[in-house]
Amino acid sequence: MDKTKKIGVLLGGSSTERAVSLRSGAALLAAYQRLGWSVVAIDTQFGRELPAQLLAHGIEVAVIALHGPMGEDGSVQGLLEVMEIPYTGSGVTASALCMNKLISKRFFQQMGIATPAWEEVRLAPGDPDALSRMVADLTPRWQDKSFFVKPASAGSSVGIRRVGQIEELAAALTAAAAAAAQPGEAAEILLEQEVVGAEVTLSILDGTPLPLIEICPVEGFYDYLNKYTPGKTRYLVPTESLSVQDIQGATDTGLAASQRMGCRGLHRVDMIVDRAGCAWVLEINTIPGLTETSLAPKAAAAAGLTFDALAERILAGATRDLSCANKLPHSF
């Protein structure tokens, strides 16, 4: 790619992951400046202004460092398609499907990819009795299980709670609803059964798997605090608790999930490998974090890629998606 092309790093946004996006975007911006690219940062917090900003800066290629709704969910990707600006990461359809955990779950099941047992619930706004009715309905099915309550379309573990006792369910639903709700709309929430095993993540760059990383929080589960606070989590590359066969199985499962959902560029598949060696797919992150504690840069480093080399590979993959934007994943 010609280094005279004007590169725009899209960062910030208006989701609950804004702070993480600003850090990811700043890291990419600094890398491109070191590499001699003509680059500018564009904060997308005020979405109405984004087209004008892109035009004013003469952006020819967009590097998307946005996380969460209105950035990672296909909306910005669709705008860039309309404006005929190549962009990094997955296209419109894959971005939209992977952002919503409920939709992803349905596709994983249809494709025969192992994913933990789950249930979808919607908490309507403006009804003071909705929460108590929901807890009463869910209790018979979940009271003897350990599970996670998650907002359907949020990342970075925002709003996620682990429920070990059914008495914790109401608080967990309230936290998830606060992270998931859009004004005037019901909050989409996922209940997902806990799978006991090794938590791992597979970063994939242009269809090539990077080394598997085992995630070991010092305490609790891999929540927002443990993700973004140095020293709160150990990252093992290579993994310590998995056999060579388990590692290969998880890698194969992650690649299959990625390919069938139509992902491209740099993305990450999060999984749990149980004691029998089965890899259970939790979700796919189409725009992984690139902060100092993020997983994808660690995987790239384990593969011998510096951060600058990773940033350049991300940029080199920029493209448009018109030929397949409206296609369903490969198995459909």
Domain boundaries, the chain: 6-89, 98-114+195-310, 118-193
**pLDDT attached to residue 212:** 97
pLDDT along the chain (332 residues), means of 10: 90 89 97 97 91 97 93 94 96 94 94 96 85 95 95 76 95 88 78 96 97 91 79 89 96 97 97 97 96 93 97 96 52 42
What residues does 188 pair with on adjacent strands?
122
* 98-114+195-310 matches 6-89 in CATH topology: no
Nearest to residue 330, comparing CAs of 274, 267, 257, 236? 257
Q: List the CATH code of the domain at 118-193.
A: 3.30.1490.20
- Six-digit token pair at 290? 């690139």
- In this prediction, residue 328 carries a pLDDT of 46
CATH match of 98-114+195-310 with 1.10.530.10:
no
Whether 321 is a known active-site residue: answer no
Q: Exactly one of 188, 214, 246, 270 is catalytic; which is it?
A: 270
Residue 268 catalytic?
Answer: yes
Would the pTM count as exceeding 0.85? yes
Do residues 250 and 278 make contact, with C-beta atoms less than 8 angstroms apart? no
6-89 sits in which CATH class? alpha beta
What is the pLDDT at residue 183? 62
Q: 226 an active-site residue?
A: no
Quick one: pLDDT at residue 326? Answer: 46
Rounded CA gap, 211 and 208, in Å? 10
Active site residue 294: no
